[in-house]
Amino acid sequence: MENGTWEEAVPEEDVLQLVPRNVSDKIGEGDFEVSDLPDTPLRIFVINSGHADSVLVTKGEFAMLVDAGNAAPVLSFLQSRNIRRLNVAVASKDSPDSIGGLEEVIGAVGTDEIWVNGKKTTSAQYGSVVGAAVSKGAVVKRPEAGDFLTVTGMEILALNPQKQRLEGSPESDAVALKVSYDGFCALLLHPTVQEREIAMLNLQESFACPVMTYYRHGEGRPDASMMVERAKPKDVVISVGQNSENLPSQTTLTRLNLKGANVWRTDVDGTVVVEKSPGGDYLVFGTG
């Protein structure tokens, strides 16, 4: 933030008071120091941060940030939501569009935990992100497919990476999640790519979710998405900005249109908000 406004809004002495849960790799073990508020709305914000990824999930006092490729808009958004500290920061993959701004974000607000993809080969930048979290007192956890966390009435399930890491492209072992609450679910697939679908679909899990974030800025593939066929989403969110790859792919947009899905784009609709209130239907809207 310019002119020190972020530091003034969130003094460091106020954001280092929570105690991390434990040192287990399993994301579901231990309790967060947040009030159990199961009847609060679930909100998922796909933040408009240029050609980069960042998704904030909140429910009651709980806050999880999945990636921050571009620090400035993410910090500004967290401040606008009065997020003074994260419970979970997810470094989904070793790629600038996912973690390019995450070290700065964690340095500003701190986090109780950081979830990493568990790859053996990581860059200095990925190590710096994890180091920044640890310096703020965070526990490092390594979710894998089937691992889940239940907090404030919400379940967060890891769909990827698989137990046997591929050690290939950053997207292959990226952390992908399913968020469920009160009969609603959303698939956060944006960190990974369509070729990981078979592995994810092999989980004994329902994928009938009305909302999903789409693979890698709306990438196009020769074959149609099996996950879209299985989930039959009503709303698909694409995190994308100005780029030289002509993303989102027109093929992908056409296929989603033929499936009757509403397509939301951060470059067109601004930050996209998904809200599920207890006992009610879910809403999706853009803020741009």
Ranges 13-27, 84-98, 117-131: which has the least confidence: 13-27
* Average pLDDT of the segment spanning 128-137: 94
Ranges 19-23, 74-78, 94-98: which has the least confidence: 19-23
Provide Rg for the chain, Cα atoms: 18
Ranges 13-27, 135-149, 212-226: which has the least confidence: 13-27
Q: Within a domain: residue 55?
A: yes
Q: Within a domain: residue 249?
A: yes
pLDDT tops 60 at residue 18: no
Q: Within a domain: residue 156?
A: yes
Which residues pair with residue 159 across a beta bridge?
A: none
> Using CA atoms in the order 4, 55, 53, 216, what is the torsion angle rounded to 10 degrees?
180
Q: Residue 108: give its domain's CATH number.
A: 3.60.15.10
Q: Within a domain: residue 12?
A: yes
Number of domains in the chain: 1
Q: Give φ, ψ of 28 to 5 degrees.
A: -90, -5
* Average pLDDT of the segment spanning 198-207: 94
The whole domain housing 75 covers 2-277
| Residues comprising the chain, all counted | 288
Q: Within a domain: residue 282?
A: no
Q: Within a domain: residue 285?
A: no
Reported confidence tier of residue 20, pLDDT bands at 50, 70, 90: low
Global pTM value: 0.91
Q: Within a domain: residue 73?
A: yes
* Average pLDDT of the segment spanning 253-281: 97
